[in-house]
Structure 1
Amino acid sequence: MTAPLSNDLRERVVAAVLAGEPSRRVASRFGVAVSSVVKWSQRYRSTGCVAPGKIGGHRKPLLQPHRDFIIERIGQTPHLTLHGLRKELAARGVKVSHNAVWLFLRREGLRFKKNPVRP
């Protein structure tokens, strides 16, 4: 994924559009896509700012409300697998993937090993 273009460029593009220049001409003059000119102008009109939004999506923490349950299950059943934990969460009405459970455990620093003797 590429980095967003600078705010300086965005401000100059929006200023040109606000001055009455057509979007296509502004796009060719500054070397950006017409769609970028339109989106930046729309963003400026709606928010008053041309700064880019957050890159990477906006994910809700699906498993955060179930953290206590997950910690309790790992403590009670040390041989529990990720797939087993996912099935238990599904039984509680939380439908997530195996990867989502793994990412949650890694992000929270929660680990469980089947053989605690080995490092």
Structure 2
Amino acid sequence: MTRALSNDLRGRVVAAVAAGQSCRSVAERFGVAVSSVVKWSQRYRATGSVAPGKMGGHRKRLLEPHRAFIVERINQTSHLTLHGLKEELAARGVKVSHNAVWLFLRREGLRFKKNAVRP
């Protein structure tokens, strides 16, 4: 991921647009994309700042608060499937995808085999 351009450049671009120049001419003059000029101008009008927003980060884990419930259901029911667990979570008001349930179980090291007797 590339880093954000400097606030100095952003400020000069926004000042040129505020002075009445078109976004296209400002973009050509400073060597940036027209879309960047438009977005920086919009950000300045909305917030009063040309500073970039936060880049990257982590998404919060939706199933973490329900870990106790998930472990209990896996221990209680030997024939539980991923889709079944997803439906039970939906009944509790937690809307997640089948893949989110799978990734949570894999990350937590929780496994349940429907047929544990077979080698």
Q: TM-score range by the shorter chain?
A: 0.5 to 0.7
2:49 matched residue in structure 1: 48
Q: How does 1:25-44 map to 2 (within 5 A)?
A: 25-44=25-44
Extract unaligned runs of 5+ from structure 2: none
Matching residue of 1:7:
5
Q: Separation in 2 of the partners of 1:72 and 1:59? A: 25
The offset of 1:79, in angstroms, is 4.3
Q: Which position in structure 2 is the counterpart of 1:112?
A: 111
For 2:112, the aligned partner's letter is K
SS at the partner of 1:7? coil
Cα RMSD (Å): 3.1
Give matches, 1:72-111, under 5 Å: 72-107=72-107, 109-111=108-110
The alpha carbon displacement at 1:50 in A equals 2.3
Q: Which moved more, 1:78-87 or 1:45-54?
A: 45-54
The normalised TM-score by structure 1 is 0.67
Runs of 5+ consecutive residues of structure 1 not aligned to the other structure: none
| Secondary structure of residue in 2 paired with 1:29 | helix
Q: Bigger radius of gyration, 1 or 2?
A: 2
Question: What is the percentage of aligned positions where both structures have the same residue?
Answer: 58
Structure-2-length-normalised TM-score: 0.67
> Equivalent residue of 1:113, what SS?
coil
Aligned equivalents of 1:105 and 1:95: distance in 2? 16
The number of equivalent residue pairs is 113
* Deviation per residue, 1:41-82 (Å, 9 max, x gap): 3334516342243348x8554323322211211222344221
